[in-house]
Amino acid sequence: MNNVWEVWTSALSPEECDQIIERGLRYAPQTATVGFAKDTRQDDGYRTSVVRWLDTGAEQAIVARLMSFVVSSNRTNFGVDIVAPFDLQFTEYHGTSQGKYDWHQDVWLESTRPYDRKLSLVVQLSDPADYEGGTFEFFGLQHPGALFAPRGSLLIFPSWMQHRVLPVTGGIRRSLVSWVEGPRWR
């Protein structure tokens, strides 16, 4: 690996961010959970956010736009065997509920599925002036910080890396999250 993460600052235009938000809000809101499969649970001490699961088949334009960055970043930085994203998650962290997501990884290594999450992708949909707090951090590594703050910025990293979103203390932080899958890690 050449880099452990890559940021594309202001990769998407404000209009593209508005369109993603508009599309995301059409889906049913759900309280975010923690864990995988049968161990999925709500844990407000660990994660507080509202999520909406976008249909990747119906949202092919969004998937194609994101994958143009993922393919380039994978070729330059990661070199992992990937196919496509399976899920698109529109996430809202609300200041009124101190929205956050504590330290976690996006992989489920005990899964019996033939595919694993390989690369995680986060798109910053909100203008930083629209919320307070909500900083994205990696465990034990340099944080993307100001590079990832502008609206439309896109962050790509291996899904096994621990990361978190600190509490949002005011306003609403919106993001689009996806996990690009590939054949099981070998």
3-state secondary structure 108-140: CCCCCCCEEEEEEEEEECCCHHHEEECCEEECC
Residues 16 and 62: beta-carbon distance below 8 Å? no
Residue 156: pLDDT above 70?
yes
Which of 22-26, 45-49, 133-137 has the weakest average pLDDT? 45-49
Q: How buried is 97 (Cβ within 10 angstroms: 0-12 exposed, 13-18 middle, 19+ buried)? A: middle
Residue 118: pLDDT above 90?
yes
Round to whole Å and give the CA distance between 101 and 108.
Answer: 17
Residue 8: pLDDT above 90?
yes
**What mean pLDDT do residues 10-32 have?**
95
pLDDT digits (tens, 9 = 90+) for 32-70: 766 665 666 665 676 889 999 999 999 999 999 999 999
- Which pLDDT belongs to residue 11? 97
Round to whole Å and give the CA distance between 121 and 11.
Answer: 13
- Which pLDDT belongs to residue 33? 65
Cα 17 vs. chain centroid, distance in angstroms?
14
Average pLDDT, the chain: 92
Q: What is the pTM of this model?
A: 0.92
- Which pLDDT belongs to residue 112? 79
Cα 121 vs. chain centroid, distance in angstroms?
5
